Structure 1
Amino acid sequence: MDIIRMEGITKGYPDHPVLNDLTLSIKKGECFTLLGPSGCGKTVLLRLIAGFESPETGKIFIDDIPVNDMEEGIDVPPENRGLGVVFQDYAVWPHMTVFENIAYPLKIANVPKDEIQQRVMEMVDIVGMKGLDKRYPSELSGGQQQRVALARALVGKPSLMLLDEPLSNLDANLREEMRFEIKELQRKLGVTVLYVTHDQEIGLAISDRVAIMDENGVIQQIGTPWEIFEQPANPFVFNFMGIANFIDVRRDGTNFFVGTGTQPMPWDEKPEGEAVDWVAAFRPSDVTISREDKGLHGIVRRANFLGAMMDYLIEIDGAFLRTSLETHHAIARDLILKAGDTINVQFLSLHWFEKETLKGVRNE
C-alpha cells in the first residue's frame, strides 16, 4: 500500500522551473531515498509533502487522504499531516534540555504530563541518549544533537518521517554511524522514511528503494540500491552513482575497437544496435590489470600512492580510464607502477551506451 502518492506535480519559481508533471509513490513501511545533485528539486519535493510549500498543479495524497489538490482548493497545513521532519541543521532549541526538546511536540498537542514523561524517556532510550535528558544542546556533540532531532520527530509516532540531508553537518565517522542507526530505528519502529540526500553511499546503505533525479528535477530511475547501481537506466544514472569510466568504442563491421586504435574490445557481450559510435562504461573496480600479454595494451599516465590503495590513470589508444587496487595486492603482484609503464587491461563488467546518449554527462 502507498503511503505517499504524488500525481502531476508542478512547482517552480520566478527565476527557474523545478518540478514538472512529476508522479511518484512511496510504499508504507519502506525507506525511500530521493538521490540527486544539489539544486535538482529534492528538498522542494520534500517540502511539498510536508506542507511547507504548495504545488502549482497536481495532487498529493498521504494514506490515500488528499493533502494537496490545487483544483479542489485542498491544502492541509503541516501540523495536520501527521509527519515527522528532521532538517540538515538539527533545529534543536538551545534554551531547552534534551527532554524539553523531545517533549515539545507532545506539549503542543496537549498530551497529558504522565504520558509525555513516559514517551519522552522511551524515545531517549531508543536513540541512545539515556542519562543525557537534562543536558542542553551546547553540552552535546553534533551526533547527539542529531539524535535529539530524530527523537523529537519520532515521539509523536508519525506514520512518515521526512529527513532532509540530516547527516551532512557531521564528520565522516559520525555520518557512517548515524546512517545505520537511522535504518535500525526505521526497522524497529516500523515508520516509513523519505530521505533526501546527494550522498550516494547513504542512499545505497539505508534504502529499500531509490529514486535518481537529474539536475532538471526529472526522475531518471527508481529501483532497489542493487538495481540502481548494477542496472543503470542510462549514462546519467551510471555517472552519478560513483566514479565512472567511459571509453569510446567504434564499430567497424562486426568488430569493436577502442579509441582511435586497432585493438578490438576483449568482451564477448558486444552492444546491440546499429550505431557506429559506442561508449563502454565501467567502474574502477571492474578493471583488472596485469603484466601478462592479455587484454588491451595501455600506458600508465598517472600513478598515485594513496596509502591503502594505488590509483592509476591508464591510456588506451587515446581513451583514458581509472583503476585502483589495494597496495599490498599491488606489491604481491608486481603492480607498483609509475607513469610511462606499459600494462595490460581486462574488464570484469561493462555497460554499453550509444555515444549520442553521453551528451551532457561528460561534456560531449
Structure 2
Amino acid sequence: MENIITVEGVCKSYAAHQVHNNLNLEVKRGECFTLLGPSGCGKTVLIRMIAGHEVPDEGKISIDDTVVSDNATGEYIPPERRGLGIVFQDYAVWPHMTVFENIAYPLKMEKRPKAEINELVMKMIDIVGMKGLDKRLPSELSGGQQQRVALARALVADPSVMLLDEPLSNLDANLREEMRFEIKALQKRFGITVMFVTHDQEVALAISDRMAIMDTKGNIRQIGTPYEIFEQPVDLFVFKFMGIANFLHVTQKGGDYLVGSGNQPIPWEKPQGSAASWVAGFRPSDVDIHREGPGLKGIIRRANFLGATMDYMIEIDGETLRTELETHTAINNNLMFKEGDECYITFKALHWFDAEQLKEVEE
C-alpha cells in the first residue's frame, strides 16, 4: 500500500521549547492512522504542520506525492491548496450559518455550480444523519449534531485526507462512543485516508488501522496495529500509556525471581536479557484470582463493587496489584472477596521490563 502522507526529518521549536526533533512518519493511502499520546506531546503541532497552519523549522512533508513543505528548498503550499478536510476539537462550525451553508462553504470557495452544490450538500446531510435539519443554526443543534456538520463539511469536497484533531473530546461518553463508530463507518464508505489525533486510548484502539504512540518529548515510540501496540509493546512507556498497568518488582535469587520482599517465585517464564533488575508488567485483565493455590499467595486489601465488575487491590509480599472480575463470574465461582481475605493469583500474560525504565517513566 502506497504512502499518502510522508513526514521526513521534521523539527519544530517554539523559542527554547523543542516539540519535534527529526520526526519521521508515513501514513498509507486509505487507512485510519491515529496519533496517540499524552497532552502536550506535540500531536496537534504535527497535524497543523501537515495541514499547513504551521511550518516546520527543518524537514519535508509530502501529501499525495506532492511536496507541500520543504525547509531546504523553501517550498510551501498553503492549507487551502492541500486538498485536505479538517475537523478540530471545537468543531469550528460558523454560528451565523445554517447547517446547509456550513457544509456548502468549501464548495462555494471552489466556485462549484449552484445545482451541484445543492445536490452534494443534501446528499452529505443525509449520509451524516442530519436530514430535515439543513435550515437550523448551530445554536439549535446538540454537540453531536454540530460534530456531524463539521464532518460533513470536511467530507463534501472529496478530500484526499481527513485530519481530525481531538474531534470527540467535547462530547459526553455516550456520544463519543457513537461518533467514533460513525467516523470509522464514513472512512470505510468513502475509502478516505483519516489521520486522527487523540489522547484517548479507547477511541484509538476502536478506530485505527495503525497507531503511532508519542511520548512527552514528541518522539514516536512505536507504530503498529492496535493489537501490536496493546499486546506487543516495544517498551515500558507504551505498555504503561495504553491502560491500567500493574508492575511487580522482583529480586533474583538463584534461578528464581521472587516477588517483592518475599520468597514466592513468580509463576512465569523467566526474563531474557541483561537488565540489572526487572519488573513484571501486566493488565488487570491478565490476572486470574482463586480461593486456593497454585499461584502467588496474596491478601485482599481493597474490594470495590462497580456494578458489572468487582475491582480488587491485592498485596503480595509488599507489592500491590489491581484486578477486575465480572460480578456474575465472581458470584458463581465463590470469588466475592472481602478485605483481609487470602487469595491466590496466576497470570494469563506477563511482560518483563528493565526496572530502570519504570523509574524513567515515573519521573
Normalized against structure 2, the TM-score is what?
0.98
Partner of 1:335: 335
Q: 1:316 offset after TM fit, Å? A: 0.5
Partner of 1:196: 197
Find the residue that maps to 2:293 and give its secondary structure. coil
Q: 1:41 offset after TM fit, Å? A: 0.2
> Aligned runs of 1:1-364 on 2, under 5 Å?
1-267=2-268, 269-363=269-363
Task: Identify unmatched segments of 5+ residues in structure 1.
Answer: none
* Cα distance in 1, alignment partners of residues 276 and 63 from structure 2: 48
* Cα distance in 2, alignment partners of residues 274 and 175 from structure 1: 44
Q: What per-residue deviation string (whole Å, max 9, x for no partner) do you get for residues 42-62 of structure 1? A: 000000000001000000001
Aligned-pair identity (%): 68
Find the residue that maps to 2:23 and give its secondary structure. strand
* Cα distance in 1, alignment partners of residues 296 and 123 from structure 2: 61
Q: What per-residue deviation string (whole Å, max 9, x for no partner) do you get for residues 262-285 of structure 1? A: 001111x21112334211100000
Q: What per-residue deviation string (whole Å, max 9, x for no partner) do you get for residues 218-274 of structure 1? A: 00000000000000000000000000001112222211111111001111x211123
Q: 1:362 offset after TM fit, Å? A: 3.2
Q: 1:360 offset after TM fit, Å? A: 2.4
Q: What per-residue deviation string (whole Å, max 9, x for no partner) do you get for residues 133-177 of structure 1? A: 111111111111000000001111100000000000000000000
Q: What per-residue deviation string (whole Å, max 9, x for no partner) do you get for residues 6-50 of structure 1? A: 100000111411000000010010000000000000000000000
* Cα distance in 2, alignment partners of residues 59 and 255 from structure 1: 51
* Cα distance in 2, alignment partners of residues 340 and 84 from structure 1: 56
Tell me which amino acid in the other structure corresponds to 2:17.
H
Q: Name whichever of 306-315 and 144-153 sits farther off.
A: 306-315
Find the residue that maps to 2:362 and give its secondary structure. coil
Find the residue that maps to 1:359 and give its secondary structure. helix
Find the residue that maps to 2:361 and give its secondary structure. coil
Tell me which amino acid in the other structure corresponds to 2:311.
D
Tell me which amino acid in the other structure corresponds to 1:46.
I
* Cα distance in 2, alignment partners of residues 177 and 315 from structure 1: 38
Tell me which amino acid in the other structure corresponds to 1:122.
K
Aligned pair count? 362
* Cα distance in 1, alignment partners of residues 105 and 169 from structure 2: 25
* Cα distance in 2, alignment partners of residues 96 and 69 from structure 1: 36
Instruction: Report if aligned partners of 1:250, 1:276 keep a CA contact under 8 Å in 2.
Output: no
Find the residue that maps to 1:162 and give its secondary structure. strand
* Cα distance in 1, alignment partners of residues 341 and 277 from structure 2: 29
Q: What per-residue deviation string (whole Å, max 9, x for no partner) do you get for residues 306-363 of structure 1? A: 1221111111011110001111211222222222111111111001112122222234
* Cα distance in 1, alignment partners of residues 73 and 137 from structure 2: 45
Find the residue that maps to 2:90 and give its secondary structure. coil
Instruction: Report if aligned partners of 1:252, 1:276 keep a CA contact under 8 Å in 2.
Output: no
Instruction: Report if aligned partners of 1:251, 1:276 keep a CA contact under 8 Å in 2.
Output: no
* Cα distance in 2, alignment partners of residues 274 and 238 from structure 1: 20
* Cα distance in 2, alignment partners of residues 69 and 99 from structure 1: 37
* Cα distance in 1, alignment partners of residues 362 and 255 from structure 2: 27
Task: Identify unmatched segments of 5+ residues in structure 2.
Answer: none
* Cα distance in 2, alignment partners of residues 270 and 138 from structure 1: 60
* Cα distance in 2, alignment partners of residues 65 and 362 from structure 1: 42
